[in-house]
Copies of this chain bind each other. A is one copy, B any other.
């Protein structure tokens, strides 16, 4: 088949009629498929149904002998911190275990910076007029919303296949002391599935920043969320705490992770990792905020998943459920677009929860709206960009984890038809 860009107006008109007929046929099916958010499926959640088995008669004692049902141990059970530390590749002493939400720990970390400042700040960040934050995009909408809500101007940094464009990042942070930090999902970025290269990590750890209290938010949300079993296909990044320390900026990075997509979404554990100085300071305030996190849940998790190896084992089961879904997305897109990858393209991630689809620039919003009319809910176009605005109106985030493969096939067929219709319409417009 000829590529759309090489077609005449007449050929495009003919293709458009065929596509519109397909669209109406899909619409008539009255589908209702949700691919909006990165939610685990019931089959994945079933893997952890036995999280609390045997807990009633277990004695509820931590390895240090303390009673997990009572107050105390604010940093969390040592054995649970060990598992998280092994997963993210740092030391258990660097870790504080929170409740279920790592987003909550990120928000709280920045709220503390707002009210109290960082250890190397001249004043609380709330007092810095015109404060700014770097947002590699496309990226995670909830990250961006946190810093937007806290009054930061969001500065978009383009993503490359190795992470954020470090030439641009280095230039910006060297020149502007109002830029106080940067968001990152270093392994399997949301929604690109990019794994940061070691060079990206090193440059970010060692770059000169005009703000002396510049902070890297390192959200290792998908650190163990591989789609493939082969070690060589698994994304990983260096220990960023160590990189920053080695580069002479030991206070630069806060790292986060959670088990929301290991056990239960919103019902797992989350952690904050930081160097000793930052962690001591954070603990001082967190000790005022709360007596301790939910240690019963920590205890249940460590009984269920006692080691990083046990986590890897359950993650392989998650992957076995997710892999065919991602394969369906990629296979259908490949088949549908055939030689038209010059109007649309997509990522083929090795982990994480998303496929990033690029419609012909200027057509993403319209494509998503047409999908919605045909019963397929996608993440709003632009959601992966600061302020929800994709300057090129091209990116659509696909979340294949929740629906069944048969639903995914239909959804991706419909997305393809809609993306082709809007592309052909645009090409026709341009020919007029």
Residues of A within 8 A of B (CB): 37, 39-40, 42, 45, 48-53, 55-57, 60, 67-72, 99-101, 103-104, 107-108, 111, 114-115, 124, 126, 142, 145-146, 149-150, 260, 264-267, 285, 288-297, 300
Contacts and interface: CB of A to CB of B under 8 A. Distances in A.
Q: How many copies does the complex hold?
A: 2
22 contacts: A37-B71, A42-B67, A45-B70, A52-B300, A69-B265, A70-B264, A70-B266, A99-B99, A100-B294, A101-B289, A101-B290, A101-B292, A103-B289, A104-B289, A104-B290, A108-B108, A115-B115, A146-B288, A264-B296, A266-B295, A266-B296, A297-B297
Given A49-B56, A100-B99, A288-B149, A39 B297 contact: no
Q: Chain A interface mostly helix, strand, loop or mixed?
A: loop
A234 B369 CA distance: 59
Contacts of A101: 289-293
A369 B266 CA distance: 45
A69 B48 contact: yes
Contacts of A71: 37, 39, 260, 265-266
Q: Identify which of A39, A50, A295, A296 gathers the most chain B CB atoms within 10 Å of its CB.
A: A296
A181 to B, nearest CB: 16
Given A50-B56, A101-B290, A108-B108, 12 more contacts: A37-B71, A45-B70, A53-B56, A68-B267, A103-B289, A107-B288, A115-B126, A115-B150, A146-B288, A266-B292, A266-B293, A267-B297
Nearest to A124: B126
Contacts of A40: 70
Nearest to A106: B289
B103 A290 contact: yes
B70 A285 contact: no
Contacts of A107: 288-290
Contacts of A108: 108, 289
A101 B296 CA distance: 13
Contact of A45 (B39, B60, B290): B60
A103 B289 CA distance: 6
A282 to B, nearest CB: 13
Nearest to A285: B149
Nearest to A292: B266
A105 to B, nearest CB: 9
A285 B289 CA distance: 17
Nearest to A41: B70
B145 A288 contact: yes
B291 A103 contact: yes
Contacts of A55: 52
A115 B111 contact: yes
A50 B233 CA distance: 43
B39 A70 contact: yes
Contacts of A50: 56
B56 A69 contact: no
The 5 A-B residue pairs whose C-beta atoms are closest, nearest first, are A267-B296, A52-B52, A104-B290, A107-B289, A45-B69
Given A115-B115, A289-B108, A69 B267 contact: yes
Contacts of A260: 71
A264 B267 CA distance: 17
Nearest to A107: B289
A57 B99 CA distance: 24
A50 B58 CA distance: 11
